[in-house]
């Protein structure tokens, strides 16, 4: 995640443009998926301990179906339930600390929040 205080001008521009869009510009041709961005790293190590029906959701944004499939597999392997929230251009910037999707939430809670985002 880009932060102006840590990354300087490039971080500020990436936040303004959208982290996913900025990364895609820097890496042309890459099939980018934003996931693992809205949940703090400190809690990720415990996710696998939750029963399958009680998993937290992992919001993901991307534009390529196969890339999203691969990311969803990785998300499930560490113990989260993938929730595709939409394309990178419109939803990628909602996957940052401090946004409505930040933190651990159920898949249904994520879907409800996404309905309120623009």
Quote the pTM value: 0.84
**Beta strand 81-86 pairing with 33-34:** unpaired
Q: Whole-number mean pLDDT of the chain? A: 88
pLDDT of residue 42: 81
> Using alpha carbons only, what angle is made at residue 82 by residues 13 and 42, rounded to the nearest 5 degrees?
65
Strands of 57-62's sheet in order across: 33-34, 57-62, 81-86
Residues 47 and 51: their CA atoms lie apart, in Å, by 9
- List pLDDT tens digits, range 1-57: 777 788 888 888 877 777 777 787 888 888 999 999 888 888 787 888 888 889 999
Give residue for tokens 């982290």. Answer: 19
The pLDDT of residue 107 is above 90: yes
Domains of the chain with bracketed CATH: 31-116 (3.40.50.720)
pLDDT of residue 86: 94
């Amino acid at each position: 995640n880009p932060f102006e205080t840590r990354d300087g001008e490039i971080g500020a521009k990436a936040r303004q443009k959208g982290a996913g869009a900025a990364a895609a510009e820097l890496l042309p041709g890459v099939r980018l998926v934003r996931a693992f961005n809205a949940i703090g790293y400190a809690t990720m190590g415990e996710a696998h301990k939750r029963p399958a029906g009680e998993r937290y959701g992992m919001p993901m944004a991307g534009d390529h179906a196969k890339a999203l499939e691969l990311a969803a597999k990785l998300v499930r392997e560490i113990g989260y339930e993938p929730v595709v929230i939409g394309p990178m251009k419109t939803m990628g910037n909602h996957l940052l600390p401090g946004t409505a999707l930040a933190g651990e939430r159920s898949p249904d809670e994520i879907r409800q929040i996404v309905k309120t985002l623009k």
